[in-house]
Chain A
Amino acid sequence: MRTLLKIELERAFRGIGIKIALLIGLLISIANLVLEVYPKTENPLRVFVADAQMLPYNVFNSWIGGRINFEYSLFIFIIPILVVIPYGATYFSDMKSGVIKNYYTRIEKKKYLIAKSIAVFLSAGVVTVVPLIVNLAITSAMLPSIIPQPTGEFSIRANAIWSSIFYTYPYIYIMLYMLVIFLLSGCIACVTLSLSLFANNKFVAMLFPFLLCNVIRILSSYSYYYVINGLGWTRIFDMTQMGVNFFPSILIDIILFASIGIFLFWWKGGRDDAL
């Protein structure tokens, strides 16, 4: 199992897919640094009024995850597509090319499916989190890390998830939120694996997570119940929490995507005959 996992991870992390996905994410991240962060570094006190309840421009209201703007909205919007680029469609390719037969004649089917899921999950998490980490690291070297105060400058409100952590240890809040993004991205990418069992076209399998995310986003927006209303991925991935996020919504999304992407794949993939 360990050797198989190593092979799958090497295929995932050394492939062209992850390079393309990271490049797209990093381009957005760097565009944000150039357009939003860099102009603020020249004078963080440019719009600061001493008597008003304001802070200088700082990391937490300037980095890509600190303020909703075009770059962050674009990044969030393309996440369901971005996460499948590195390794999402390889199960489909392995089946079509016949590579899967080489695996199945040598190792247990279940082990292959688990190793494949782990590789897809991890590669997806990495392509979403790395651009954010790069942006945060560069911003923190250019703007001060002043601890946020609840005086109206930040969109995180009392009802928002982990608001108490944000106003006390903002870096821990960011790390926790990145963990949520990592987990959810991984689960979304795994949906492609399940679809590979049903689809007869690689791109159908790759685009299905984006379609599914959109269906959930649109349908949930009609609900008046706050947990259901907050299921849309554009809302959950937004760590500025312009629309307040709730833990049950995040949990439901993770369980939903994991059920479709991971458990269905293991169950159906294990039963299907590939040889």
Chain B
Amino acid sequence: MMHYKKKIFVIIISVVLFVAWLIGFSDVNNRFPQVKCEEYHLDEWVDYSNRYWGYDDLQLSPVKITIYSAKDFKSEYPEEGEEYKDKSYKIVVMKVKIKNNSPQEISVGKVFSFFTAGAEPIGWHNQGQIIDSKNSNILLTGEQEDVELYVVLSESMVSSRNYDRFLKNKIFLSVKSYPLRQILVFDEIDVK
């Protein structure tokens, strides 16, 4: 009898705990829903604004990715490549179109400082740097420019064992993360 009562007690406590967990779980996930993801491919433009810098009415569109060895990167971009000439890194160069529709001039460097390059689902991510030698940093009202940024792909980030797998991933530049996720997806990958 005592054993039976103990069993009933355990079942009741378990049910109460489960219901409490379920209420908490659904409540918090309703208040903070899953991310909605918008992907922008070649020739598709994403409207972009940045409250931190006070930039509005910008548009961005992905063009292509070129993956260089450090040596090839140095010969293509001597200024930026100098730092990596003796490294075994690969360098990912992302080309993005940016259009300034706002009434003010904008700093391209400031805009891109908020973006992160990534690859899914493998989980590679790194901050990129604008290739200054090929871009003018200031974009005037109504101007459009092709911006190139380079992102380092070191062995500790993606080892040579995982490199082929990496190339099969969705490689992107993340523009916004939450609650609406906007990513520029590069369909064209040129491996030098």
Chain A positions within 8 Å of B, measured between CB atoms, are 44, 48-56, 58, 137-138, 140-147, 149-152, 154, 156-160, 163-168
Contact = CB atoms under 8 A, between A and B. Distances in A.
Contacts of A149: 35, 118, 120, 174, 177, 181
Contacts of A55: 35, 177-178
Interface in B1-39: 20-21, 23-25, 28-29, 31-35
B51 A51 contact: yes
A52 B121 CA distance: 20
A130 B106 CA distance: 53
Interface stretch (B70-78, B82-90, B151-159): B151-159
Interface bin, chain B: 35 or more
A157 B123 contact: yes
Given A143-B28, A152-B125, A158-B122, 7 more contacts: A51-B52, A52-B177, A53-B174, A55-B35, A141-B24, A151-B118, A152-B126
A135 B106 CA distance: 46
Which residue of B25, B50, B115 has the most chain A CB atoms within 10 A of its CB atom?
Answer: B25
B116 interface: yes
Contacts of B166: 158
A146 B118 contact: no
A235 B34 CA distance: 31
Interface of B: 20-21, 23-25, 28-29, 31-35, 50-52, 114-116, 118-127, 156-159, 162, 166, 174, 176-178, 181
B77 to A, nearest CB: 24
A154 B158 CA distance: 16
A54 B156 contact: no
Given A53-B116, A55-B177, A158-B166, A44 B32 contact: yes
